[in-house]
Amino acid sequence: MLLYWMEKLKRIKPVIVFHLVLNAIIVVFITGASYYHVPLEGLKDHAIYFLHLCALQSTVAGILYVLSLFKWTFRVVFSILFLSYCGFSFWAYSQDISITRSLIQGVMETKPDIAIDLITIPYFIFYLVAIAVLIFILNWHGRLNRRKGFRIFIVPAVALIIMFFVFERKQYGIFKFRLPYNVVVALDDYYEQPPFKLEQKIPPVHSGTDSLKVVFVLGETVRADHLGLNGYNRNTTPLLSQRKDIISYSNLFTSKTITATSLPQILTDQLLTDTIGSYTSLYSVVNDGGFKTTWIGNQTMEKSYLPIVETNRDIILVDKYKSVFSFDKELDGVMLKPIDSLLRLNDKQLITIHMIGSHWWYENRYEDRHRKFTPVIDSKYIPSLTKEQVINSYDNTVVYLDYFLNEIITRLEKERLPTFMIYVSDHGEILGEGGKWLHAQEDDALKNPGYILWFSESFRQWYPGKVTAIEQLKNSEITTDVIYPTLLDLLDLQVSEGK
Ligand SMILES: [Zn+2]
């Protein structure tokens, strides 16, 4: 009897060895990334997480076994999955990114020109090694007698797959928020979003003014607590701080932590309407109020807010084929020129400026003369940088913002007619909090963006009540859903009831 089993084991051994090695490779290249950044202390912690990883990988092993039974299906499906997953796991390893709907949205809606800039040398090497490993697996699989031991293995393999659902039922999220399952969950979330529709017909709009020139600046990735104006211990806003008429909010909060979700919230009545999935664009109302609307953007537009931008009368995109991740992207300063010519054209207009702002890679977001804090970042690979370098570079982008907003105000000050500038950032940035960086994740550092207003003398004289109301609120805790009604009120526009 013993001999019989030994003989049997000998025959199925190659299949066992293949699957052990295959699973070890998957742990190294994919699954392990979800555990790599878990802060662990002591033997007990490590043991618990090791068992967790083994349990999760066992469920994956079941799937891999079933897949491996079919030669060509395995070749094609496994290759596609393995290489796609390596794309996610690299970022999970190197930056501890969270794979959520937000990230999938970023991947799906990012244009190829932007994606190219994400390829760093470590990323490239990681992929080369992954390809070599893939070829090794495929060769081995080709030589293997795949069906050997089928009757022994198939039942446990299916049982392992079922184990995933049993565990998930017992404790929701025990496996599904980790690699490889989180990608599937995130994809599902992404496609499940209710379709976003813009209201075409809006109630009559009443405008209380014939002359008002407004510059509305949509910032990018600027944290309120890194503004000198808000009491940050570094004077990142030397020019604006010298002005006595700046109103800066330190307690504006947002729940939207990426541009793609934040802009639709700021630029529509999303949070004020009862009709889910059908919103009114700010610009539709402003157009009906007789304003000329122009969008000047320094970012490649994303699917989520493109329809809103298109409700502007005019759209000017500077450097339109390069976006936030580009390395030789135009500075925001190039948008000052179109502002100059536009201001001369119309007495009643709203100009929106969409900045690239303080988006990573920070060093390409400001001029040398704004490099107030050093040493700065010198590598794209975040784990190789010090916290000080990252924050210095980030703060230099804020110094540039100070210059940029001051330039806009200087232009508006020359206007005879009432004018104002309103600046709001779409979200903040994680600067090392909890060992994390950048945005598109979940962290409080992302939820308190900068919000700055400036009113001209003539505006203050025409609308003293509006300015006082803005001043009184500046220390209150408010959320970004106030921006839409605030802007309409400052533009002296009333929308009839009964949407
Ligand atoms: Zn953004």
The pLDDT tens digits for 9-68 are 888 999 999 999 999 999 999 999 988 877 676 787 788 889 999 999 999 999 999 999
Whether residue 234 contacts residue 373, with contact meaning beta carbons closer than 8 Å, is answered with yes
Strands (E), 232-342: 246-249, 252-253, 278-279, 292-297, 314-317
- 195 pLDDT band, cuts 50/70/90, is low
Distance 356 CA to ligand 1 centre (A): 8
Distance 257 CA to ligand 1 centre (A): 7
- 443 pLDDT band, cuts 50/70/90, is confident
Distance 263 CA to ligand 1 centre (A): 8
List for the chain the helix, strand, coil content (%; round to 5): 55, 15, 35
The pLDDT tens digits for 131-173 are 999 999 999 999 999 888 888 899 999 999 999 999 999 877 7
Q: What is the pLDDT of residue 323?
A: 46
Nearest to 474 by CA among 446, 493, 455: 455
Distance 262 CA to ligand 1 centre (A): 7
The pLDDT tens digits for 237-248 are 999 999 999 999
Distance 309 CA to ligand 1 centre (A): 15
Domains of the chain (ranges; CATH) run 2-192 (no CATH), 197-495 (3.40.720.10)
Residues in the chain: 499
Which positions ≥6 away from 417 have C-beta within 8 Å? 211, 212, 213, 347, 458
Contacts 24+ apart (CB under 8 A), 184-192: 186/99, 186/100, 186/101, 186/103, 186/104, 187/104, 189/100, 189/101, 189/104, 190/101, 190/104, 190/105, 190/108
Distance 26 CA to ligand 1 centre (A): 33
Distance 325 CA to ligand 1 centre (A): 12
Distance 210 CA to ligand 1 centre (A): 34
Q: What is the pLDDT of residue 496?
A: 86
Distance 34 CA to ligand 1 centre (A): 25
Mean pLDDT, residues 441-468: 93
pTM beyond 0.85: the answer is no
Q: What sign for the dihedral angle of Cα 392, 395, 397, 403?
A: negative
Distance 145 CA to ligand 1 centre (A): 52
Q: What is the pLDDT of residue 102?
A: 64
Single-letter residue type at 422: I
- 105 pLDDT band, cuts 50/70/90, is confident
The enclosing H or E element of 230 equals none
The pLDDT tens digits for 380-423 are 677 778 999 999 999 999 999 999 999 999 999 999 999 999 99
Distance 324 CA to ligand 1 centre (A): 9
Distance 260 CA to ligand 1 centre (A): 7
Distance 256 CA to ligand 1 centre (A): 9
Tell me the chain's radius of gyration from C-alpha atoms: 27
Distance 346 CA to ligand 1 centre (A): 30
**Ligand 1 being an ion, which residues bring their Cβ within 5 A of it?**
220, 259, 426
User: Rounded CA gap, 287 and 377, in Å?
Assistant: 43
Distance 221 CA to ligand 1 centre (A): 5
- 325 pLDDT band, cuts 50/70/90, is very low
The pLDDT tens digits for 302-323 are 778 888 999 999 999 887 655 4
Mean pLDDT, residues 475-497: 93
Distance 424 CA to ligand 1 centre (A): 11
Distance 413 CA to ligand 1 centre (A): 29
Distance 259 CA to ligand 1 centre (A): 4
Distance 297 CA to ligand 1 centre (A): 13
User: Rounded CA gap, 438 and 445, in Å?
Assistant: 10
Distance 464 CA to ligand 1 centre (A): 33
Distance 258 CA to ligand 1 centre (A): 5
What are residue 449's DSSP bridge partners?
223
Distance 187 CA to ligand 1 centre (A): 21
